[in-house]
Amino acid sequence: MKAYLDLVKFSHTIFAMPFAMIGYFTAIKENNLAFDVQILLLVVLAMVFARNAAMGFNRWADRDIDASNPRTKDREIPAGVIHQKNALGFVMLNCFAFVITCWFINTLCFFLSPIALGIVLAYSYTKRFTFLCHVVLGLGLSLAPIGAYLAVHPHFNAIPVIYGLAVLFWVSGFDIIYALQDVDFDKKFSLQSIPQFFGKQKALYLSVSFHILTAVLILLASYLFYQSEMGIGILHAIAVIFFLAILYYQHTLVTANDLSKVNKAFFTVNGLGSLMFGILIILDFYLNV
């Protein structure tokens, strides 16, 4: 079990999960619905199954690439900890579980589930032909707040869509930073990424630009909350300020010539930022101080 959790980096579920919870509670508060613990659990399960499928498939698809890369050669499949057939079986099991979970949520989520799976699985091959692979990764995670909202209230709404776009540019931006580590390897093996295509410095500029767009979208969502009956309180304002500070801080940790703190910027800072943002936004719904 530990090997499979390591395979999919289960702890990294924290990136998108808080935004899914924001989508869930936004639907409840905006439509004056009762809290439904069953739907909440189904949303959490759907998130876990989709991410397991996506990450497991990525590891399976990249098994030969990972074996050649000194940074990734010790991952579970190239290291022989998990056989590639078992990894693919794990992916198929999670895909099936995701679709069934969506069936139990509602009809709309069930019919959209193959599209969602198609997006998150397709990412694994995009690095072979486009430097926009980071954007495809962001698109996959951007479905979290939208899908969670639709699980509660099966009608599209502007706020979760805007949060979805914020997640898209947020994830794309920090994935560009993470990809800085493999520029030389990507060039050697003809793999695509923004750092490989534009160079490290320009890639960092693009990452900053993406995170500026993230900030604008987060502020726009807050404005729509403010204009609605839900309103915003102090905790919401603190959440926004904290998240924007996190966006800025991660760019002080990494330069084109110093990648020693990439993991801190990628995992610790973004994980903490997402978690605190989600907790404070949801608390604000109910405390409204």
| Residue-wise pLDDT tens digits, 257-267 | 888 888 777 77
pLDDT of residue 201: 96
Please provide the average confidence, as pLDDT, over all residues in the chain. 93
Q: Residue 162's domain spans which residues?
A: 2-287
What residues in the chain have per-residue pLDDT under 70? 6, 8, 10-12, 288-289
What is this structure's pTM? 0.94
pLDDT, residue 268, reads 79
Looking up residue 45, the CATH number of its domain turns out to be: 1.10.357.140
H/E/C letters for each residue in the chain? CHHHHHHCCHHHHHCCHHHHHHHHHHHHHHCCCCCCHHHHHHHHHHHHHHHHHHHHHHHHHCHHHHHHCCCCCCCCCCCCCCCHHHHHHHHHHHHHHHHHHHHHHCHHHHHHHHHHHHHHHHHHHHCCCCCCHHHHHHHHHHHHHHHHHHHHCCCCCHHHHHHHHHHHHHHHHHHHHHHHHHHHHHHHCCCCCHHHHHCHHHHHHHHHHHHHHHHHHHHHHHHHHHHCCCCCCHHHHHHHHHHHHHHHHHHHHCECCECCCHHHHHHHHHHHHHHHHHHHHHHHHHHCC
Number of domains in the chain: 1
pLDDT the model gives residue 265:
72
**Residues 93-109 pLDDT 10s:** 999 999 999 999 999 99
**Model confidence pLDDT, tens digit, residues 110-158:** 999 999 999 999 999 999 999 999 999 999 999 999 999 999 999 999 9
